[in-house]
Amino acid sequence: MIDLYNAERRTEAHQLLVMEVIPMQEVFNRQLADLRNAYQRANLAAQREARETYRHALFLTLAFGLAAIILASLIAWHTQRNTRLKSQQLREQMAELEQSRTALREEATHDPLTGLANRRLFYDRLQQAIRHAHRYGSRLGILYVDLDHFKEINDRHGHHVGDAVLTEVAKRLTACIRDSDTVARLGGDEFVVLLEGVQGREDQLAVAYKIGQTLNASTSFYGLELDIAASIGQAIYPDDGTDEDVLMRTADAAMYRVKSGRGSERQSLLPFQ
């Protein structure tokens, strides 16, 4: 077409332009438009796919994150629960151990029948009381209590009645003394009372008289009316001795003198020799 223009064949060149070049340009333009539209559609599709991929990835990320949080929470809850259970079990075991220790200490230091202090605990308290009395120049008293005719009660009515009598005697002896004093069962029908801070034998006499009157009160055991009586010997620190063995032997000997000489009204009221 350029050659036709150069040859001044403009008419032919114009016809060629109208019939061939312009249609070709239009075709090219349409193809270019189609390509542009295809590119735009592909771009939009790619954007949509990218958005879908992003949403999917975000959903998966959130889902995995949430699952991780839930799993971590479950692990933490399970761990805390196990820790609480272990702690509770440990506390229960410690409580049981302490109860066992307390029971063992109680068994080692107390009479199982009456609940009174046993010989071991009584001697320990007597030693402490003697040291205290020595340090502060005070006195203490011992009353040795032996039940009268207890063997006859056991033989005639049975050991269950004898045990009931011993338990009742323990209660009555405890009711006759102060909280600072001690009642112990040495064994069998023998009891001993430790009186701290006494002024003299008159204080012991008053307590012994009260014990005698309290024990003499008639009581029913398994439907049997039984009278309880006891022989009581005394010793006082430091008049009768300065150590526990001497004091106990003195009180024991005094009790046997009372038991062997019982009979008069005065001796039953004043049970000392």
Active site residues: 189
| Tokens describing residue 106 | 């109680």
Burial-class residue 166 by CB neighbours within 10 Å (0-12, 13-18, 19+): buried
Residue with tokens 């390509």: 35
The C-alpha atoms of residue 70 and residue 62 are separated, in whole angstroms, by 12
DSSP letters along 139-186, please? Answer: EEEEEEEEETTHHHHHHHH-HHHHHHHHHHHHHHHHHTS-TTSEEEEE
For the beta carbon of residue 170, count every other beta carbon within 10 angstroms.
19
Q: State the pairing for strand pair 139-147/219-221.
A: unpaired
The C-alpha atoms of residue 100 and residue 125 are separated, in whole angstroms, by 23
3-state secondary structure of 236: strand
